[in-house]
Amino acid sequence: MGIIKTFEEFSSELNKKSVKEGAIDAGEDSKVTIDDITLDSGKEIKSTEILGTILSSKTEKEYKEYFYDTYGNGAFTDEDISTILKFYLEYKEEKNAEEAEEDGKKDGESEEDASGTDSMDDLEKELDDI
């Protein structure tokens, strides 16, 4: 006999994250979630170590070299290294998008200041009010 679920039970199961217990977010506002990884050899790489390496690495090459130097070149399957690399790329993509958004806001503000029209209009209004 089949199991009958209410709509709430069914929808709550769909909304559950498929992350492990040791998973952490890459930041307060970050949408990137980093999981622990267990290698074929049985060694476990904690999510905190992965995040720390992401934050301290300047390039993708430096990031991968850390794991190869720490765990050995033969320790990773293609799937393992692609998962580790996915975390790095998602985090960097998110940070680049945030920086581009901030730069866009700064450029918009500096264009208004450079033209001087907004500043002059404000000064004229203040003088008229006096």
pLDDT tens sequence across 88-123? 999 888 888 888 888 777 766 655 555 555 666 666
Distances, alpha carbon 77 to alpha carbons 81, 82, 109, 129, in Å: 6, 9, 48, 72
Residue 8 placed within a domain: no
pLDDT band, very low/low/confident/very high, at 39 (cuts 50, 70, 90): confident
Domain that holds residue 84: 20-129
Contact 66, 85 (CB under 8 A): no
Residue 11 placed within a domain: no
pLDDT digits 0-9 by tens, 68-86 = 999 988 888 888 889 999 9
Residue 10 placed within a domain: no
Residue 15 placed within a domain: no
Please state the domain count of the chain: 1
Residue 14 placed within a domain: no
Q: What is the pTM (predicted TM-score) of this model?
A: 0.61
Residue 77 placed within a domain: yes
pLDDT band, very low/low/confident/very high, at 26 (cuts 50, 70, 90): low
pLDDT band, very low/low/confident/very high, at 17 (cuts 50, 70, 90): very low
pLDDT band, very low/low/confident/very high, at 34 (cuts 50, 70, 90): confident
Residue 81 placed within a domain: yes
Residue 4 placed within a domain: no
